[in-house]
Chain A
């Protein structure tokens, strides 16, 4: 997994609550058997004025000029500012894959849906929870100032604004540890193979019906 230590980038808005994973990446793109190729279809239904399809050339599609990511001032953005319950709905990891491939390294919101939040960490994308008033303040500052950039420091757990403000955020120790070091979680878990086998032996004895071969 790619590590995350410190990132500075232009902030862009996704200014609505309850952004679901269908909105982040519509289901027709989930038919792919690959992990890549989703970036051009991030927020497809908001970004373009026509319906996107897998394999379609996106370069000639009509853009929705009202959508912020199509605005020149947000080009190259890598920090997404969002509202509450971002990433609700389906467990599709295609959502963080699409955000990552588009170029977002961090997402800041007052709250995230659990599965999406978890999926971000598996892909080196950092979801940051800040309280609603702080997020509102960041939205206001971003709208006022073109090229508004935020700096995210994982080690010190801070979001730094151009005005010099520092906003601390909470993060689970294990997730931080994995992200800072870019650890492969499967390798970490397999270090516990002896524990897993011991647990499994006990379980097999206590509930043998769970270990029969399905046919």
Chain B
């Protein structure tokens, strides 16, 4: 029998049964819930007279709608000015209270973005299946877990049954060999991968990221990479368990207690693809070739190295050409323009992709002792959780940002998708550490450029995109 991939192993370990109709029931160990995609699921349960199968498997927190200014946060849910958003956050609180679900409420120190608090608390662990009504749930796969986003009907399904009826995905291995140049971050790596395989390259697949670049990458870096697996079309991304994984998990609040730690680690050690495992597709990149990345269009695959030149649509045909023409028009850019000629109006450092302590440190290192460009209207730094915020403040990073003219905010999703008050005005260009540059994503008419935290910080200092290594 051929060896199994990491994904095969996680799948096999969670298979409850295969039914006659060809579907499989997969057991879900951990269910993370936020305010936007859950209200209709709880309502569905209520209408059907059902209860959560295992409420103790669920961890909830509000993140999408929460304000990030300290004045508004001081009043908790009442501080949310938008009444529709306020009802949604209140509804999450009410549902969690009613069903006995653990929730980090808006002003709990542990509140934060779902995909930050999962790994940070140890609620998300190696070898587990994890779902959340949010596509960036792929993040947790970095721990050697099978973690993917689901819709609201499936949120209700998992609440009611602790299972999902699913079809197995195919296996895609993305290998990045060699080592990275100085100043190249995990964000640059995943953007470069998306540039190669495209936003649909991973559709139908679970991606395992392998090779020396990921083997030597920190856990927070791996979380960034797996976070954007969905931007390559794959519902799930993952990295094999190694010492970096185990060291990261040890001592976290919900990590296995001392009496279980030994047997947990023993199980986790097998969470890697067998040497003779067969992947349906393999893509390989050389880490040495990767430069700092900047997106110029309205899809994450519209990405270039910082020294790149915006493509000419006339060199393409059909739907692809039309897509570039539309993207350039929306972005207010021209073919032949250099990435380094793009002026930015706002800086956003945050999101489930890049709001962990290493991201905050990387951005702070760039702005330290410098001042925000006068042409940049606003630069905000939004930590991914209350825990990240406190850690950064303990290291004095908040003061570095404030001294440079950047704003230091309260944790939440913020301007990644602009459901709260943090948003772009029409036509504004933003250097953003988030994950999607879709039309209107950061605000109606807003123009998003996806970059690493260091590159966003550098753009904030210069007012245009620069290679952070040249700063």
Contact = CB atoms under 8 A, between A and B. Distances in A.
Contact of B17 (A23, A45, A118, A192): A192
B419 A118 contact: no
Interface string B312-349: 00000001101100100000000000000000000000
Given A32-B84, A113-B200, A186-B160, A83 B319 contact: yes
Interface in B404-455: 417-419, 436, 438-441, 444
B200 A85 contact: yes
A211 B320 contact: no
B84 A31 contact: yes
Given A16-B326, A207-B127, A213-B56, A119 B151 contact: yes
Contact of B319 (A84, A210, A215): A84
A109 to B, nearest CB: 11
Interface residues of B, number: 84
A105 B418 CA distance: 30
Interface stretch (A61-69, A71-79, A148-156, A171-179): A171-179
A155 to B, nearest CB: 15
Contacts of B216: none
A91 B153 contact: no
Interface string B69-108: 0000000000000101101100100000000001000000
B254 A174 contact: no
Nearest to B169: A114
A30 B135 contact: no
A18 B91 CA distance: 33
A177 B436 CA distance: 35
Contacts of A17: 319-320, 323
Contacts of B56: 211-214
A32 B88 CA distance: 7
Given A177-B21, A196-B162, A54 B84 contact: yes
B220 interface: no
A88 interface: yes
Contact of A207 (B53, B151, B267): B267
B25 A186 contact: no
B27 A173 contact: no
Contacts of A211: 56
A184 B444 CA distance: 37
Contact of A30 (B30, B36, B444): B36
Contact of B419 (A18, A31, A34): A31
Interface string A153-180: 0000000000000000000111001000
B167 A196 contact: no
Given A119-B153, A186-B48, A209-B260, A114 B161 contact: no
Nearest to B41: A93
Contacts of B59: 214
A149 to B, nearest CB: 24
Interface in A1-39: 15-18, 20, 22-23, 26-28, 30-35
A211 to B, nearest CB: 7
A148 B257 CA distance: 64
A184 B85 CA distance: 30
B211 interface: no
B444 A115 contact: no
Contact of A200 (B151, B162, B204): B162
Contacts of A118: 150-151, 154
Interface string A109-144: 001111100110011000000000000000000000
A16 B319 contact: yes
Contacts of B256: 209
B264 A209 contact: yes
Interface residues of A, number: 64
A22 B441 contact: yes
A189 B53 CA distance: 12
A203 B14 CA distance: 9
B49 to A, nearest CB: 12
B135 A89 contact: yes
B200 A115 contact: no
B134 A214 contact: no
B293 interface: no
Contacts of B418: 27
Contacts of B150: 91, 115, 118
Contact of B21 (A88, A89, A174, A212): A174
Contact of B153 (A20, A93, A210): A93
B68 interface: no
B149 interface: yes
B27 A186 contact: no
B156 A186 contact: yes
A111 B438 contact: no
Interface in B147-171: 149-154, 156-157, 160-163, 165, 167, 169
A205 to B, nearest CB: 11
Interface string B217-232: 0000000000000100
- Residue with the greatest number of chain A CB neighbours at <10 A, chosen from B150, B151, B260, B267: B151
Interface in B25-83: 25, 27, 29-30, 36-37, 39-40, 43, 48, 50, 53-54, 56-57, 59, 64-65, 82
A31 B82 contact: yes
A105 B184 CA distance: 46
A174 B23 contact: yes
Contacts of A207: 29, 127, 264, 267
Given A91-B150, A185-B157, 6 more contacts: A16-B326, A20-B299, A28-B419, A90-B134, A173-B22, A186-B48
Cβ-closest 10 pairs across A and B: A209-B256, A122-B153, A33-B39, A174-B23, A93-B151, A119-B151, A91-B149, A214-B102, A85-B200, A93-B152
5 contacts: A27-B441, A85-B199, A91-B150, A192-B25, A196-B27
